[in-house]
Amino acid sequence: MTLYEAGNLTTSTTLGFFIAEMVRHPEIQAKLISEIDGKWSGITAESSNEEIAAAIQGMKYLDCCVRETLRKNPPVVIGMKMPTRDIILGGYGVPKGQVI
């Protein structure tokens, strides 16, 4: 799963953004809950690690939601930009020297 690629702090940051996205988009949250309920329904305390891993790997919508969260809210920002003059970006005014 995508989250295993990140470290501890970046994982907690990503989970925070993920929860915020689910709160903002209840229709996506409902679809995700439906997928989890469907894939997790056969998992019990006696399920093997392989069965659990297969259920998690089968959650394609969950993976897409996590990847979209990472795309929209990267936990580590690389290559920050700073305009050398006042600009308009996406309809918003960005003053000279503001980190983007």
pLDDT in tens, the chain (100 residues): 555 555 667 888 889 999 999 999 999 999 999 999 999 999 999 999 999 999 999 999 999 999 999 999 887 767 778 899 999 988 999 999 998 8
**Closest to 84 (Cα-Cα) out of 74, 100, 97:** 97
Q: What is the pLDDT of residue 8?
A: 67
Q: What whole-number distance in Å separates Cα of residue 22 and Cα of residue 95?
A: 32
Distance, in Å, from the CA atom of 82 to the CA atom of 45, rounded to the nearest integer, reads 52
Identify the pLDDT of residue 1: 52
Q: What is the pTM of this model?
A: 0.67
